[in-house]
């Protein structure tokens, strides 16, 4: 029998098992999550919109179908939070921006449609850096999300809301998107698990685009198995997305249940470590690598020399694509419209709306991208960055001839304090130095907890990278390492997080 004392503390897989055995109802599980949100989200601010009524309606429907003896999907009745970059019919989709404040899309993204088809109650939409531009969720137009481990610290970004919701036990599962690390870096600093699937492995239809050649939706959870279960729901070919891969979904759930590294070659990336990485991050990473050796893996060092140029290339490619994608927000069709006094032209309305609707980080990247794409500079900047991208893909290809997966720290540091880097864009951008290469090459990556840093007692993360469409390898390594780390730390890492018991709304 499952211990049902606190439903919010159970893993998604444990909840799914209890629901299937009818030990608990979806209404009870969903209500517990909604109560938890009401109790702690005044402090955490993980959610921009809480969909209590529709979540409970879905839960009641699942319970009724189960009572009739219908065969249901594995995660039917398990609640989930959705990052506010995914269009969701009947719910606001703001992308953390004032320019979309109050916009309710008339259609679901493919990911949301799959979640609904799986019978999963959607608890609401989670906070994020505006248009997914940021590494701290400080760039949200609706205020920052706070890290449940320390409310004075950032939860990562851009998907800090999803990671914090899972870490604070407000939701067992959440969706994220990863353009340069926006699933993996928040997972690292909140002690959760997050996966960026192979580019094209999960449909981008209905994701409000930041950088179309980099964006990838993926799962966020508290365990490797839970992450795999949600990955399986989200993944698969979609004809509505021209970049979607028409191939079977890798066996991620089977790999997560197996968790075997006994014959795997683990490559430690020379360029993703050393100077600039916090001592506690390095220590926990080295310990995790040793645990993989103890579990039977072979560890080799690999060199990817072009990785040192990844950050510079990324911050030319991403702003260029963002400049193009965000041109659609023109005040003419939907979203915010600011009309200057007098008889303004369409151009004046657009300019006034964008000035009022976009935050400073979005403006910064639009300006950078527009400049990089401008006549006379295209080849020197955007074109050169694409050549570096090719070199990075070649480095990965060579590395995977000697290693089955690659590993590195996920982020250089643990969660930093609010305000520490908000006025220094370069320092902020460096948070993604280890995660960006996988996005440039379109490869899958996972972050899972590697322990707590000695200096501050905050979570650290280890990143696992695999070749394209070998997402299952992430889960084999992740599950084996998770098992070894739980033995090392005396139980699941997240259960060591400080307890949140009250909210500012109630205080």
Active site residues: 83, 158, 182
**Following DSSP, what letter does each residue of 348-408 receive, concatenated?**
HHHHHHHHHHS-HHHHHHHHHHHHHTSTTTTIIIIIHHHHHHHHHHHHHHHHTTT-SEEEE
Asked whether the beta carbons of 121 and 148 are under 8 A apart, the reply is: no
Helix (H, G, I), strand (E, B) or coil at 297: coil
On whether the CB atoms of residues 415 and 154 are closer than 8 A, the answer is yes
Edge-to-edge strand ranges of the sheet holding 265-269: 47-50, 122-126, 80-83, 173-177, 217-221, 193-196, 445-452, 459-465, 405-409, 265-269, 298-302
Structure tokens at 100: 């979309």
- Rounded to 5°, angle at Cα 52 from 108 and 187: 70
Show the DSSP H helices in 79-168 as ranges: 110-117, 160-167
| End-to-end CA gap in the chain | 37
Is the backbone of residue 119 left (phi > 0), alpha (psi -120 to 50) or beta?
left
Distance between CA atoms of 466 and 468, rounded to whole angstroms?
7
Contact assessment for residue 271 and residue 445, using Cβ atoms and an 8 Å cutoff: no
For every residue of 174-236, which 3-state class applies, written as one string?
Answer: EEEECCCCCCHHHHHHHCCEEEECCCCCECCCCECCCCCCCCCEEEEECCHHHHHHHHHHHEC
Extract the tokens encoding 243: 């970049």
CB atoms within 10 A of CB 38: 15
- Reported as type and span, the H/E element at residue 101 is none
H/E stretch holding 150 reads: none
Residues pairing with 407 in the sheet: 268, 464
Q: Which residues pair with 285 in a beta bridge?
A: none
Count of beta carbons in the 10 Å neighbourhood of residue 506: 11
Closest CA to 308 of 271, 258, 267: 271
Structure tokens given for 43: 């402090």
- Do 460 and 280 form a contact (C-beta atoms < 8 A)? yes
Give the bridge partners for 42, in sequence order. Answer: none
Look at the chain and count its residues: 507
């Amino acid at each position: 029998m499952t211990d049902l004392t606190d439903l919010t503390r159970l893993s998604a897989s444990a909840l799914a098992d209890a629901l299937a055995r009818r030990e608990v109802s979806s209404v009870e599980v969903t209500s517990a999550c909604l109560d938890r949100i009401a109790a702690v989200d005044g402090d955490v601010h993980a959610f921009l919109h809480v969909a209590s009524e529709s979540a409970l309606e879905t839960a009641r429907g699942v319970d009724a179908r189960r009572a009739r003896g219908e065969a249901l999907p594995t995660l039917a009745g398990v609640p989930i939070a959705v990052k506010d970059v995914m269009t969701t019919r009947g719910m606001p989709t703001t992308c953390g921006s004032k320019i979309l404040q109050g916009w309710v899309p008339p259609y679901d993204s493919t990911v949301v449609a799959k979640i609904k088809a799986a019978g999963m109650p959607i608890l609401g939409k989670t906070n994020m850096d505006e248009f997914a531009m940021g590494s701290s969720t400080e760039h949200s137009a609706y205020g920052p999300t706070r890290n449940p481990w320390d409310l004075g610290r950032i939860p990562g970004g851009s998907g800090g809301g999803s990671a914090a919701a899972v870490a604070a036990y407000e939701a067992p599962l959440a969706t994220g998107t990863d353009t340069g690390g926006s699933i993996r870096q928040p997972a690292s600093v909140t002690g959760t698990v997050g996966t960026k699937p192979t580019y094209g492995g999960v449909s981008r239809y209905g994701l409000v685009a930041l950088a179309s050649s980099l964006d990838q939706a993926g799962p966020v959870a508290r365990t490797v198995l839970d992450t795999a279960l949600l990955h399986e729901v989200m993944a698969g070919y979609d004809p509505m997305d021209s970049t979607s891969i028409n191939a079977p979904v890798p066996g991620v759930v089977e790999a997560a249940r197996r968790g075997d590294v006994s014959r795997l070659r683990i490559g430690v990336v020379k360029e993703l470590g050393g100077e600039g990485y916090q001592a506690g991050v390095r220590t926990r990473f080295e310990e995790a690598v040793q645990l993989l050796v103890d579990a039977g893996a072979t560890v080799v060092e690999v060199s990817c020399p072009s990785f040192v140029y990844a950050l510079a290339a990324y911050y030319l490619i991403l702003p260029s694509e963002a400049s193009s994608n965000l041109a659609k927000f023109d005040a003419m069709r939907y979203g915010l419209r600011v009309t200057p006094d007098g008889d303004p032209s369409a151009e004046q309305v657009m300019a006034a709306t964008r000035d009022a609707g976009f935050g400073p980080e979005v403006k910064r990247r639009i300006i950078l991208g527009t400049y990089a794409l401008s006549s006379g500079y295209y080849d020197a900047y955007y074109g050169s960055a694409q050549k570096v991208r090719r070199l990075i893909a070649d480095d990965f290809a060579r590395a995977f001839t000697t290693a089955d997966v690659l590993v590195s720290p996920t982020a250089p540091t643990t969660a930093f304090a609010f305000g520490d880097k908000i006025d220094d864009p370069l320092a902020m951008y460096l948070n993604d130095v280890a995660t960006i290469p996988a996005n440039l090459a379109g490869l899958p990556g996972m972050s899972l907890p590697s322990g707590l840093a000695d200096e501050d007692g905050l979570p650290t993360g280890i990143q696992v990278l695999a070749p394209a469409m070998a997402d299952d390898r992430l889960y084999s390594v992740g599950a084996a390492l998770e098992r070894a780390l739980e033995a090392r730390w005396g139980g699941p890492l997240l259960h060591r997080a400080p307890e949140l018991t009250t909210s500012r709304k109630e205080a």
